[in-house]
Amino acid sequence: MTDGGRLQESRHSDAILKGTEDTVTQQDRPFSKEEKPYSIYTSHEKWFIVSTAAFAGIFSPLTANIYFPAIPIIASAFDKSVELINLTVTVYMILQGISPMFWGTLADRWGRRPMFLACMLVLALSCVGLALVPTDDYWLLMVLRCIQAAGSASTIALGAGVIGDIAAPHERGNFFGLWNIGPMVGPCIGPVIGGLLAEGLGWRSIFWFLCISSALCFVLILALLPETLRALVGDGSIPPPPLYKPLIPVLGRNRVNVDPMAKAPRRNFKNPLLLFLYPDVVLLLLYNAVLYSVFYGVTASISTLFQTVYPSLNEIEIGLCFLSIGGGMLIGGVVTGKLLDWDYRRFKYRMTKRTASGDDAEKCQENFTKDESFPLERARFRLMPYYFVVYVGSCIGYGWCLDAGVSIAGPLILLFILGWSVVAIMNIITTVLVDLAPESSSSITACNNLVRCTFGAACVSVINIILTAIGTGWTYVLLSGLCIAVFPIIPFVVMKGPGWRAKRREQH
C-alpha cells in the first residue's frame, strides 16, 4: 500500500472514531446513526408518558401510608383495639405484594392502558366504600382494604412496563429516576397528608381524598395515555385496536403507521413465576429486598423514635419530618437517573473504542447492542458501591444520632442522604431487572414488588421489638450489617451475569 493510501485509511479510521464519539455525546442517539429509534415518541412525549405512570405509581405506597396517622382514630370509631385495626395494614401489605403478579402478567399480555384504567377504577370505587363504611362493620373495612390494595398496588409494575416499552436501554435509568419518585416518595408524604386530613376533616376525608385523586388519574389515562405494549403497537407506529386508543390521541399521532395490515407479533402467555428460575434475577431480587426492608424499617419507626427523642414535637411536626427523606428521594431520583444513563453511554462508547477501530468500529457497536456481547452488569453497577457506602453510612449515623439525642438537624440531614442513596440503588436495580427481561417488564417488576414487600412487612413487624431489645444505635448497625452481608451479590452477578444471559438466549 502506498503512503497516500495509508494516510487516507488512517484519516478514514479517525473519522469513524470521531463520528462515533460525537454520536455518543448525543443523548437521543448514543449509538450508530443508522440505528432505528426504539420508539416513535419524542423525548417530551416520553417524559409525559412516564410522568403519568409515576402519578399512577404513587398510589400504591400512598394508599398504604396515608392510613397510618388515622389508626388510633379509626380504632376508636370502630370500637376495636389498635391491634385489630393494624390487621387491615397487614392484609393490605399482603395484597400489595400478591396482586401485581396478576395485573402485571395481564399487562404483558393484553396491554398497559386497560390494566391502568382497571386498577384506578377499582381503587376509586373501594375508596368510596371505605369513606362510607359503617363503623359497626369491621369485616367490611377489612374486605375493602383488600380490594383497595388490589387496585392500587399494581400501578408500580404497570409503570415499569411502560418504561420498558418506550425507552431504549441507554435512557431507561433517567426515566426510572422520575418514575421511582412516585413509589418512593409515597411513604414519606402519605403520613403528612393523612395526619392533616384526619385532624382537620376526620378519618373519612382520607378516603375521599384518595377517591378524588385516583379518579383524576383515571381521567388523565383515559384521555391521553397511549397503549405502549410492544406486542400490540410495536415501537408505537402500529395502530392499536379501537378500545386501546386514548380519547384525545395527540401523542405520536403524526408518526403512526397508516398501513391497516401492519401488526406486531402477539406474545403468548408467560408464567411470571418462571422468572424466579433466572439466577441473576433471584439474586438481585434478594439484594433489593434486603435494602428495601431496611429502608421501610427506618420510615416505619420515624414517628415512634422522634416522639420519644424529641417529645416537644406535635403530631403534625413529626409528620413534616418525613419530608426530609422524601426530599432526598425526590431530588435523588432525578439526578441519579441522569447520572446512570450518562455513565452507561460513556462506558459503552469506551468499550467500543477500546475493542475496535477504523472500519470495525461500527460493527463492534452493533455487536455491543446484543445481550451476549455487551457487559450490561458492569455498565449498570459501576456506581453501585458508592451509593451503597453512602446508604449504609447514613443508616448507621442516623441510628446513633437518635441514640445520643443530638439536635434534630442531624437525623433530618441523614434522612435526606438516606433517601437520596436508597432511590439511587432502587433505580439501578429496577433498570437492570427490566434490561434482563424487557419482554416481561411488568411481570419482573411485579416479582420485585412481591419479594421486597414480603421482606418489608417482616422488617416492620419486628423493628419495634429490636429497638426495645438492643437500642436505636445498635438496631441500625444490625440492619446495616444485613445489607453488607448481601452486597457480594453485586460483584458475583457482574461476573456471572453475561454467561447466564447468553445461556438463556440460546435456550429460547
One DSSP character per residue, 368-433 reads: HTSTTTS-HHHHHHTTHHHHHHHHHHHHHHHHHHHHHT--THHHHHHHHHHHHHHHHHHHHHHHHH
79 residue type, one letter = D
Dihedral sign (CA 274, 275, 280, 286): negative
Would you give the DSSP letter of residue 36? Answer: P
DSSP character for 256?
S
Query: What is the distance between the alpha carbons of residues 444 and 442, in angstroms, rounded to a whole number?
Result: 6
Query: What is d(CA 397, CA 300) in angstroms, rounded to the nearest whole number?
Result: 17
pLDDT of residue 498: 82
Residue 369's φ and ψ, nearest 5 degrees, are -75, -10
| 7 within some domain | no
Q: Is residue 2 part of a domain?
A: no
Q: Is residue 401 part of a domain?
A: yes
3-state helix, strand, coil in the chain (%, to 5): 80, 0, 20
Residue whose entry in the numeric block shows the C-alpha cell 445489607:
483
pLDDT confidence of residue 372: 52
pLDDT of 164 reads 80
Q: What's the distance, CA 32 to chain centroid?
A: 29
Q: How many helices (H) and strands (E) does the chain have?
A: 21, 0
| 418 within some domain | yes
Cell (9 digits) for 507: 435456550
Asked if 56 and 116 count as a contact pair (C-beta separation under 8 A), the reply is yes
* Assigned domain for 33 exists: no
Task: List pLDDT tens digits, range 387-406.
Answer: 999 999 999 999 999 988 88
CA pair distance 376, 435, nearest whole angstrom: 8
Q: Domain range holding 167?
A: 40-258+268-507
92, three cell numbers: 393490605
- Residue 270 pLDDT: 66
Give the count of beta carbons closer than 10 Å to the beta carbon of residue 254.
6
CB distance 36 to 237 below 8 Å: no
Angle at 349 between CA 422 and CA 356, to 5 degrees: 145
Give the CATH number of the domain where residue 201 resides. 1.20.1250.20
Residue 1: inside a domain, yes or no? Answer: no
Residue 17 within a domain: no
pTM for the full model?
A: 0.72
Report whether 64 contacts 91 (CB < 8 A): no
Q: Are 84 and 138 in contact (CB under 8 A)?
A: yes
pLDDT by residue (tens digit) across 211-255?
999 999 999 999 999 988 888 888 778 888 888 888 888 887 766
pLDDT score for 269: 58
Q: What are phi and psi of 437, to 5 degrees?
A: -140, 65
Count of domains for the chain: 1
Q: Hey, which bits of 229-317 come out as E strands?
A: none
Q: What is the pLDDT along the chain (508 residues), one digit of tens a residue?
A: 444 444 444 444 444 334 433 433 333 444 444 456 778 888 888 889 988 888 888 888 788 778 777 777 888 888 887 778 777 877 787 787 788 877 877 887 788 899 999 999 999 999 999 999 888 888 898 889 888 888 887 787 788 788 888 888 777 777 877 777 777 677 667 878 887 888 788 889 999 999 999 999 999 999 999 988 888 888 778 888 888 888 888 887 766 665 555 555 555 556 677 778 888 889 999 999 999 889 888 887 787 788 788 888 776 777 778 788 878 887 777 777 777 777 777 777 777 666 555 444 444 444 444 445 567 778 788 889 999 999 999 999 999 999 888 888 899 999 999 988 988 888 888 888 877 877 777 778 778 878 887 888 788 778 878 888 888 889 999 999 999 999 999 999 888 888 888 787 777 6
Judge contact between 113 and 217, C-beta under 8 A. Answer: no
Across 147-164, b (16+ Cβ under 10 Å) vs e yields bbbbbbbbbbbbbbbbbb
In a domain, 8, yes or no: no
